[in-house]
Amino acid sequence: MPKLLRSVRILLALLPITFAAPAPAPAPSPIVSAAPHPMITPRASLADRTTSKLEDRDILSSLEGLGGFLTSAIGSFPDYVASGVPNFFQDFPTGTAVQKSLGISDNELAATPTQVLNIPAYANWTDQGWNLRFRGNVYKQPNISESKLDQLADIFLVGTSIKDLPPPQQSQARNLTAEIFVVQQGNVNVSFNIEPAAKQGSDGTGTGSNAVTPGGGSQNITLVGQTTVEGDFDQFVPLANISGPGGYLLPGNGTQKLQRLNVYANGTDTGNATSFLVPEEGLTIISDIDDILRVTRIYQPADGLLNSFAKAFTPWMNMPEIYANWSQSIPDFHFHYLTTTPEQVTRNYMDFIYKTYPGGSFDTRPLNFSDVSATLSIRKFLLTKIFQTYPKRKFVLMADTSNSDVMKDYPGMATDFPGQVKCIFLRNTSATDSGDKFPYNTSGFKGLDNSTYMFFTVPDDLKGLDIVNGQCVNTTIKQNITFSEQGLPFGLSKKSAAGRVRSKLRVVALVGWSTLVYAMIL
């Protein structure tokens, strides 16, 4: 056990940079296999998890003599990684495994209330009317003693212990740990009560979501089928055009206005969300969160861990001002927050976003995405889904350069969905944070019209751009794009050096959140 714990610590040290790691060669697509279904849209069914294979066994040999910045962060690699990554990812723990590891009896668990994570979603307009996505997870929160929680939280905190943290950080660490140790409820029915919404939650900064309250639309919806083994649900269901005191739902082709609906999960008060009816045409911003809307420093392992698990979420510079301004000045701008952070911590991300940024819909990583290839292609899956939902809308894409999947998938959207990507904005974290030693690869942008994307360093660089009319570039910001790997530390630029760094990162990429939880309950 102690050895294992140590290994886990090492794995955890790798965790934050997972997101920064380059993706390996394209793997078979894990995307939806659309089952025929008498609904407007087939319900999303994530493909079965495939056997995970180590993508690049040979990369492990390049780990020998790992000098430099990575080793200082991660120490030595655990034996079982060095001998080939085991099949962590296909045995993702189910709720029962978490339950067993915590020694909680069925009776105890049965006595705890069922909760629903209801992720604020979007609806599209179809021949049959509005088609609303329902997406989330059903789970129970076991009653874990504080001492046990502290013990579990300590596993997340490399180089420190919960005892050594100031009280607010202690409670944040306990909160996150508790969120990860939930027992998901598979095979349950889920239903919702829908009502017009006057606002979204507290409506954050007061800029709110620039949406309107529909006159009607109150109804009860029962999802088709039951939750997956992991407790997830994700499907589109048509809404009826029910009249209310203020009239009806507005059709999605006669208006550009967003309409807000409250979606309450039946039987619990934990599953409240505000979803959006988003018209056929208009402008949507798809925004990542870590290191663009909040300070995470995912590329600095120890710091990234503390920022992710203990410290209160902090906005990055004056980004809230930029978003508030866009929300006010761009008519009917739809905000969609898309992060590959695991579903279990969605509540914390939502809580921060809705207090700090304009209201909007949300996407996080569903639990099914736990094998290697799927973990690395989740962003593409989520992006493709929203683009397919709105074939006539235009999109603004926002993130930072420390995500290798972003560097491929954002320009990829411009190629896959011609004419739909209006602007791509990327914060260059390497240029402004000497702590970011990871290279980033701009080759995905080769061939794209350079008036449609901009790399920037501070939020002010985005000020005054007329996005609606396609002004994506602030000409005062020097771009420095080489269409290759750039931003290597210590002035390294040789191909071999780049190759070595990439190899190291690729190993890191194999070790994700799913491993983390899996390893913890072993």
Ligand X SMILES: *[C@@H]1O[C@H](CO)[C@@H](O)[C@H](O)[C@H]1NC(C)=O
Q: Which of residues 373-412 bind ligand X (CB under 6 A)?
A: 385, 388-389, 391
Is residue 461 near ligand X by the rule CB under 6 A? yes
Closest CA to 90 of 336, 306, 282, 368: 368
Tell me the closest approach of the beta carbon of residue 286 to ligand X, in angstroms: 14
Q: Edge-to-edge strand order for the sheet containing 334-342? A: 361-365, 334-342, 283-287, 394-400, 421-427, 453-456
Q: Which of 22, 92, 121, 179 binds ligand X (CB under 6 A)?
A: 179
Q: According to CB under 6 A, which one of 238, 479, 497, 521 is a site residue for ligand X?
A: 479
405 contact partners, CB below 8 Å, separation of at least 6: 19, 23, 340, 376, 377, 378, 379, 380
Give the range of 66-74, 261-269, 297-305, 366-374 binding ligand X by CB under 6 A.
261-269
Nearer to ligand X, 94 or 348 (CB): 348
Among 101, 175, 213, 325, binds ligand X (CB under 6 A): 175
Q: Minimal distance in Å, beta carbon 333 to ligand X?
A: 18
The distance of closest approach from Cβ of residue 179 to ligand X in the complex, given in angstroms and rounded to an integer, is 5
Q: How far apart are CA 372 and CA 356, in angstroms?
A: 33
Nearer to ligand X, 124 or 284 (CB): 124
Query: In angstroms, what is the minimal distance from the CB of 496 to ligand X?
Result: 24
Q: How many residues bind ligand X (CB under 6 A)?
A: 57
Q: How far apart are CA 446 and CA 54, in angstroms?
A: 30
Strand residues in 32-128 grouped as ranges (E):
114-118, 122-126
Query: Tokens 């990554």 correspond to what residue?
Result: 85
Residue of 272, 318, 325, 493 that binds ligand X (CB under 6 A): 272
Stretch that binds ligand X, among 84-92, 161-169, 477-485, 498-506 (CB under 6 A): 477-485
Site for ligand X in 95-154 (CB under 6 A): 124, 126-127, 129-131, 141, 143, 145
- Minimum separation from the CB atom of position 59 to ligand X (A): 29
| 363 within 8 A of 336, measured Cβ to Cβ | yes
**Binds ligand X (CB under 6 A): choice among 62, 348, 443, 452:** 348
Q: Give the distance, in angstroms, between the CA of residue 88 and the centroid of all CA atoms in the same chain.
A: 21
Shorter beta-carbon distance to ligand X: residue 73 or 149: 149
Q: HEC string of 200-261?
A: CCCCCCCCCCCEECCCCCCEEEECCCCCCCCCEEEEEEECCCCCECCECCCCCCCCCCEEEE
Given 18, 41, 200, 344, the residue binding ligand X (CB under 6 A): 41
Q: Where are the alpha helices (DSSP H) in 270-335?
A: 301-309, 319-329
Judged by CB under 6 A, the stretch of 20-28, 75-83, 171-179, 304-312 that binds ligand X is 171-179
Asked if 520 is part of the footprint of ligand X (rule: CB under 6 A), the reply reads: no
* Residue pointed to by tokens 């950080």: 169
State which of residues 273, 431, 472, 511 lies at the interface with ligand X (CB under 6 A): 431
Cβ distance to ligand X smaller for residue 145 or 496: 145
Rg, the chain, Cα only: 22
Is residue 428 part of the contact set for ligand X (CB under 6 A)?
yes
d(CA 103, CA 143): 11
Instruction: Go through 379-389 and write b for each residue having 16 or more CB atoms within 10 A of its CB, e for each that does not.
Output: bbbbbbbbbeb
Cα(371)–Cα(376) distance, rounded to whole angstroms? 9
Local structure of residue 451 (DSSP, 8 states): T
CA–CA gap between residue 377 and residue 106 (Å, rounded):
36
**The residue type at 205:** T
Name the DSSP class of 340. Answer: E
Residues in a beta bridge with 233: 136
Q: What is the pattern of x (binds ligand X, CB under 6 A) and - over residues 54-93?
A: ----------------------------------------
| CA angle in degrees (0–180, nearest 5) for 445-461-404 | 35
Least distance to ligand X, CB of residue 42, Å: 8
Stretch that binds ligand X, among 49-57, 78-86, 290-298, 346-354 (CB under 6 A): 346-354
What's the min distance (Å) between Cβ of 54 and ligand X? 33
Least Cβ distance, residue 248 to ligand X (angstroms): 4
Is 177 within 8 Å of 344 (Cβ atoms)? no
Positions that interact with ligand X (CB under 6 A): 41, 124, 126-127, 129-131, 141, 143, 145, 175, 178-179, 189, 191, 193, 218-220, 222, 236, 241, 248-249, 251, 253, 264, 266-267, 269, 272, 347-348, 351, 385, 388-389, 391, 428, 431, 450, 455-458, 460-461, 463-465, 473-474, 476-480
